[in-house]
Chain A
Amino acid sequence: ETGVTQTPRHLVMGMTNKKSLKCEQHLGHNAMYWYKQSAKKPLELMFVYNFKEQTENNSVPSRFSPECPNSSHLFLHLHTLQPEDSALYLCASSQRQGPTYEQYFGPGTRLTVT
């Protein structure tokens, strides 16, 4: 285990539903990340939080809403998603934001939008 947990591991939701993904890290890190991984495509960085402040939003549609109440927890709130949003959503953490700090990934949430 990497010290990063994600729940739920699998989620099926309709386009009109509202759901949330949760990520928790037990590593004492200060930076947390949300990634989207679609089949046969590179990981796409969605959001970055450094010391609870959002430092990056890679033009993510507003139907994805992140929340970082503290350095250990990260949420991704979902509403009115589209079928093309079906993917593996990965959370990661690192000691601080920056390329020299290794990112530790959670197991991911497999999301299916019907």
Chain B
Amino acid sequence: KNQVEQSPQSLIILEGKNCTLQCNYTVSPFSNLRWYKQDTGRGPVSLTIMTFSENTKSNGRYTATLDADTKQSSLHITASQLSDSASYICVVSFNTDKLIFGTGTRLQVFP
């Protein structure tokens, strides 16, 4: 069964600290993997997208990694800011047009 699992479900950190969010998937055949940020009451916004051949991609303070062999991805946030408080959703696409969404990690950054 094609699944995307994210951990932790929720995370609280202090402003300025780093954190890492995890995404494990069992999707096959793999096409690409995206990380989205979703602020409360808003739609998801894409942070990064990685294909099979890419193992790291950065977008400002966000760095995503991909290990296609172990089917794991992580999103590392450096020097967190209050505005990083949001849900982070891992989305894996497979076959030709299917997307599998994770349930997300709820991140709260406190001053």
How many contacts between A and B, using CB within 8 angstroms? 50
Within 8 Å by CB of A45, from B34, B42, B94, B99, lies B99
Nearest CB of chain A from residue B49's CB, rounded to whole Å: 7
Q: Which residues of A contact B42 (CB under 8 A)?
A: 107-108
Q: Which residues of A contact B55 (CB under 8 A)?
A: none
B56 interface contact, C-beta 8 A = no
Nearest CB of chain B from residue A36's CB, rounded to whole Å: 11
Instruction: Determine if B41 and A99 form an interchain contact, defined as CB atoms under 8 angstroms apart.
Output: no
Chain B residues within 8 Å of chain A by Cβ, number: 24
Instruction: Determine if B41 and A102 form an interchain contact, defined as CB atoms under 8 angstroms apart.
Output: no
Nearest CB of chain B from residue A2's CB, rounded to whole Å: 7
Assuming the A-B contacts A98-B96, A99-B93, A100-B32, are A40 and B41 also in contact, with contact meaning beta carbons closer than 8 angstroms in the complex?
no
Instruction: Determine if A41 and B103 form an interchain contact, defined as CB atoms under 8 angstroms apart.
Output: yes
Assuming the A-B contacts A42-B4, A43-B89, A99-B93, are A107 and B98 also in contact, with contact meaning beta carbons closer than 8 angstroms in the complex?
no
Place the interface of chain A in its size category.
20 to 34
Nearest CB of chain A from residue B48's CB, rounded to whole Å: 11
Nearest CB of chain A from residue B67's CB, rounded to whole Å: 19
Q: A42–B92 Cα gap in the complex (Å)?
A: 12
Nearest CB of chain B from residue A39's CB, rounded to whole Å: 10
Q: Which residues of A contact B97 (CB under 8 A)?
A: 97-99
Q: A45–B104 Cα gap in the complex (Å)?
A: 16
Residues of B within 8 A of A (CB): 4, 31-32, 34, 41-46, 49, 89, 93-104
Residues of A within 8 A of B (CB): 2, 4, 40-43, 45, 90-92, 97-100, 102-108, 110
